[in-house]
Chain A
Amino acid sequence: MKPSTALIGQIFAEKVARAREMSHEDKFFEGPRLFDSAMQVMAAGIRDRYPDLDEQAVHRMLRTYLDRLDRLERRG
């Protein structure tokens, strides 16, 4: 089911209100922190799928996935 325009608007308004309440430091670091969290989840997924990989190989695969995501994003 597609969310209604009103719901999308309400969610956006809530995000705006939350952003206005954040401290300067939290706003500055929120993007990198979100990225770090996403990387931890992705790395855990890789370890689960390929349990024999060492940490260096996990990180190499992580970078490969990220580059692929970047390419897809650029393509639109």
Chain B
Amino acid sequence: MTSEEVIIAVIDALEAVDLRFMVVGSVATNFYGIPRSTRDADFVIQAAPPLAALVEHLGTNLRLSAQASFEGVTGTLRHRIEARGTPFTVELFELSDDAHDVSRFSRRRRVSLFGRHVFVATAEDTVVTKLRWAMQPGREKDVDDVRSVIAVQGDGLDWAYVKEWCSQHGTSALLEKIRKSVES
């Protein structure tokens, strides 16, 4: 399978089991910024997945890991999907009760892609989340991602919203540093 086919198959399976979702992570960043290579696609799902039904709809080329693991920043559960014939993976993060996680899910944007309705986190929420991740060690890529989204979106971003969340997350200084680097 190609990575593209993997993503479409997962979206179709989530729709089939009626599980609300949004695309986040590097695929969402690419959607708003300068696209770069990525080896995984991340989704936030509204609730714990109905495992048996999801496995059935994923088909024989996609394998859902038997065990979920914990994600580091919000502490939510993560389910991993591997595909036959490609190292490309998909991760499903259960929606946590973290305030920003809840906010970004409620603001998710519906876009028409490849004949489907796909929900993607907004550009603002992508920036806020990536800045939060960038505070973790070894996450330099996230700084580049934020820079690319800010550069491509220009004045189109809702800065009041971004600044409010950055203030709560303690990422305001990093945001300003990146904004200045884009302006120069």
A32 B34 Cβ-Cβ under 8 A: no
- A15 to B147 CA separation, bound complex (whole angstroms): 12
Q: Does A57 contact B (CB under 8 A)?
A: no
- A32 to B148 CA separation, bound complex (whole angstroms): 17
Question: Top 4 closest A-B pairs, CB basis?
Answer: A32-B3, A30-B35, A31-B38, A34-B37
- By a beta-carbon cutoff of 8 Å, the part of chain A in contact with chain B is 12, 15-16, 18-20, 22, 24-25, 27-36, 38-39, 59, 62-63, 66, 73-76
B35 A34 Cβ-Cβ under 8 A: yes
Those of B22-47 within 8 Å (CB) of chain A: 26-27, 30-39, 41
Interface of A is mostly: helix
Subset of 29 A-B contacts with CB under 8 Å:
A16-B151, A19-B35, A19-B148, A24-B31, A25-B114, A27-B32, A28-B31, A28-B113, A29-B3, A30-B35, A31-B26, A31-B27, A31-B35, A31-B37, A32-B4, A32-B7, A32-B38, A34-B36, A35-B3, A35-B38, A36-B3, A38-B37, A59-B87, A63-B87, A66-B39, A66-B87, A73-B138, A75-B138, A76-B140
Residues of A within 8 A of B87 (CB): 39, 59, 62-63, 66
Count of A-B residue pairs with CB < 8 Å? 85
Residues of B within 8 A of A22 (CB): 35
Q: Measured between C-beta atoms, what is the minimum distance from B29 to chain A in Å?
A: 8
Residues of A within 8 A of B30 (CB): 27-28, 30-31
Q: Measured between C-beta atoms, what is the minimum distance from A43 to chain B in Å?
A: 10
A33 B27 Cβ-Cβ under 8 A: no
Residues of A within 8 A of B88 (CB): 32, 35-36
- A71 to B71 CA separation, bound complex (whole angstroms): 17
Cross-interface CB contact of A15 among B6, B31, B34, B138, cutoff 8 Å = B34
Residues of B within 8 A of A15 (CB): 34, 148
